[in-house]
């Protein structure tokens, strides 16, 4: 079973929706660290064509975009930027310049990179210079020292190397050996090294010359690198999304039978992305404020401590009081975990059984050794026989039990053996009998066969491949752009594209004729969808005009004498008052009627 790369539970995940119980060690406050190691040789500043950007400019843009995204997705992560092959140096080694220390992303760092893109590229030679004498081993050493000296507790360490030279130490066996040795040290210290190769104009990048021995990957026969343009495009893409890292909400025991248990991790693959809560600051000095609540006795105003209070439940007009421990004991049903109840054919799992968003199960070896083997066997048998396990599920202490169906999912990989979907079980929550409702079905007009066939044609014409990842929340995108514009002193926020709006032009191009035919078959003559009261656009104004013309033919004096003014509409009364130049004391209907009655002496 391929590794999902899920981090340990509790790794700086403050947004866990549920607090699970189990035998695990919490490890709070961990962060991810990333260092951009950028080659500053003269060739990195030479564009392929006159109007194109140089490789170094692309590297700085990638770093800038990453910082912008990190602020939104995971602002507790740390990022640093190191230049090598420069004349100027500020580290322990020559020809190596630490441009930005390993720290959390901030507005000033982004502004510094923007300034370098605007006018620093032309003056880079004067400020930093270029050098052909450098040691890649010392550059790796500098990155390792930055991680070791960092005051942040870093969980995942990564160095991203940007270069267009596939053989930087050609002809120097000593520097090559030192680079390989230091790359091995990085790997042993848990620091991943990733290569982002920037192609020189008219040349290719041959990994076998030098970098193959520096990259420690699962593919021992690595002879070629993935297309760097895809990775660069991914880094350059500005998608302001909250990064929900794959961290387990909890680790539970899965019981197949008496004495046969294994452990699993529970994950949330989808989570609602919301705006961050504003922080309250002091008006005097902008210091962050913390809220503090107290409970008071209603009659005397005495401050109550937690031990002075009880909880009560009203039953039969009487308040039943409980201690805190009694409340917990009442809520407790059983120990947290999954207990297998049996199996059902997958076809019996209906879409309308949806109760709440699903979770995901993946084996965990930290609690029970050998859990992966037993989990894999259960998954394969469920896939082979097309069945779903039905389990009783208690996610945490004091949580009510659920019945869940475990929907098996097979692992999928692309042509490069990169995992697209992980293997495991989706936890589908099933409804109890009390959750089902009887919906009254009203007798409504039924469509005939011709209308149904035309509707099918329209649906076929308007079909497209849907993916939730293709649609950004326009409210969130606008929110982050506004904040970014304020933080970076922009004149105006960037424009957003609202992909939730229907593409009317494409719809009309693909199915305009079919939609017209469907409308003619289903709707009555003169019907305009969206118009109020079934009239055509502007039909409401025409109706009002017709009523006013009809009111002019009425004998208002007779209507007033017979007490029928209340049946007339306000516009009709106003029109008559205006025409007869009657003075009304107010604009309400009653005021208008009183004014007309006074005018006629009724």
Residues assigned a catalytic role: 25
Report the length, in residues, of the chain.
602
Output 556-565 pairs: Cβ under 8 A, ≥24 positions apart. Answer: 556/596, 556/600, 557/600, 560/596, 560/597, 560/600, 560/602, 561/600, 561/602, 565/593, 565/596, 565/597
CA distance 467 to 256: 36
CA distance 63 to 65: 6
Quick one: residue 482, left, alpha or beta (phi over 0 = left, psi -120 to 50 = alpha)? alpha
Looking at the DSSP bridge assignments, the partners of residue 320 are: 313
Q: For residue 95, which phi and psi values (nearest 5 degrees)?
A: 60, 25
Distance of CA 482 to the CA centre of its chain: 18
SS3 assignment for 323-371: CHHHHHHHHCCCCCEEEEEEEEEHHHCCHHHCCCCCEEEEECCCCCCCH
Using the Cα atoms of residue 532, residue 535, residue 538 and residue 542 in order, give the sign of their dihedral: negative
Q: Is 103 helix (H, G, I), strand (E, B) or coil?
A: strand
Structure tokens at 17: 């929706």
Using the Cα atoms of residue 590, residue 594, residue 600 and residue 602 in order, give the sign of their dihedral: positive
CA distance 443 to 466: 34
Q: Which residue has the tokens 């699970």?
A: 20
CA distance 182 to 140: 7
Residue 387's alpha-carbon distances to 27, 175, 342, 378, 427, in angstroms, are 37, 59, 10, 11, 14
Q: Which helix (H) or strand (E) holds 376?
A: helix 371-385
């Amino acid at each position: 079973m391929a590794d999902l790369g899920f981090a340990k539970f509790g790794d700086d995940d403050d947004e866990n929706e549920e607090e699970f119980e189990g035998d695990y060690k919490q490890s709070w406050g961990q962060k991810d660290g990333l260092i951009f190691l950028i080659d500053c040789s003269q060739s990195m500043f030479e564009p392929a064509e006159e109007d194109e950007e140089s490789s170094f400019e692309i590297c700085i843009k990638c770093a800038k975009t990453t910082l912008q995204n990190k602020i939104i997705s995971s602002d507790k992560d740390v990022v640093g930027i190191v230049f090598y092959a420069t004349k100027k140096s500020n580290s322990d080694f020559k020809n190596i310049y630490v441009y930005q220390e390993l720290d959390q992303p901030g507005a000033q760092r982004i502004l510094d990179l923007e300034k370098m893109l605007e006018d620093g590229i032309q003056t880079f030679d004067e400020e930093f210079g270029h050098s052909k004498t450098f040691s890649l081993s010392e550059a790796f050493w500098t990155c390792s020292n930055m991680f070791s000296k960092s005051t942040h507790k870093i969980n995942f360490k990564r160095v991203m190397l940007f270069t267009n030279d596939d053989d930087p130490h050609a002809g120097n066996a000593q520097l090559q050996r030192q680079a390989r040795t230091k790359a091995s040290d990085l790997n042993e210290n848990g620091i991943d090294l990733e290569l982002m190769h920037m192609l020189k104009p008219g040349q290719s990048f041959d990994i076998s010359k030098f970098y193959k021995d520096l990259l420690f990957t699962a593919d021992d026969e690595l002879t070629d690198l993935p297309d760097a343009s895809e990775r660069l495009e991914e880094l350059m893409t500005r998608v302001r999304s909250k990064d929900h890292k794959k961290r387990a909400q909890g680790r539970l025991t899965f019981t197949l039978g008496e004495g046969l248990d294994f452990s699993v991790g529970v994950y949330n693959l989808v989570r609602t992305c919301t705006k961050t809560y504003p922080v309250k600051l002091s008006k005097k000095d902008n210091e962050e404020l913390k809220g503090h609540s107290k409970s008071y006795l209603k009659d005397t105003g005495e401050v109550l401590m937690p031990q002075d209070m009880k909880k009560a439940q009203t039953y039969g007009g009487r308040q039943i009081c409980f201690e805190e421990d009694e409340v917990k004991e009442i809520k407790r049903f059983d120990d947290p975990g999954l207990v297998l109840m049996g199996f059902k054919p997958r076809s019996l799992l209906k879409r309308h059984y949806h109760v709440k968003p699903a979770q995901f199960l993946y084996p965990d070896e930290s609690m029970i050794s050998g859990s992966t083997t037993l989990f894999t066997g259960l998954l394969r048998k469920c896939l082979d026989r097309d069945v779903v396990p039905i389990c009783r599920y208690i996610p945490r202490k004091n949580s009510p039990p659920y019945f869940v169906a475990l929907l098996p999912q097979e692992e999928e990989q692309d042509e490069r053996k990169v995992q697209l979907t992980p293997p495991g079980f989706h936890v589908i929550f099933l409804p109890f009998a009390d959750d089902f409702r009887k919906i009254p079905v009203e007798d409504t007009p039924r469509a005939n066969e011709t209308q149904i066939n035309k509707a099918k044609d329209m649906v076929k014409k308007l079909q497209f491949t849907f993916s939730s990842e293709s649609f950004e929340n326009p409210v969130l995108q606008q929110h982050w752009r506004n904040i970014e514009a304020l933080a970076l002193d922009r004149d105006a926020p960037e424009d957003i594209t609202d992909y939730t709006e229907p593409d009317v032009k494409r719809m009309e191009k693909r199915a305009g004729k079919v939609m017209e035919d469907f409308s003619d078959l289903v709707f009555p003559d003169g019907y305009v969808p969206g118009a109020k009261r079934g009239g055509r656009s502007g039909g409401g104004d025409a109706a009002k005009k017709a009523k006013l013309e009809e009111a002019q033919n009425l004998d208002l004096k007779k209507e007033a004498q017979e007490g029928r003014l209340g049946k007339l509409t306000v516009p009709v009364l106003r029109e008559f008052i205006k025409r007869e130049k009657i003075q009304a004391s107010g604009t309400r209907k009653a005021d208008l009627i009183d004014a007309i009655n006074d005018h006629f002496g009724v």
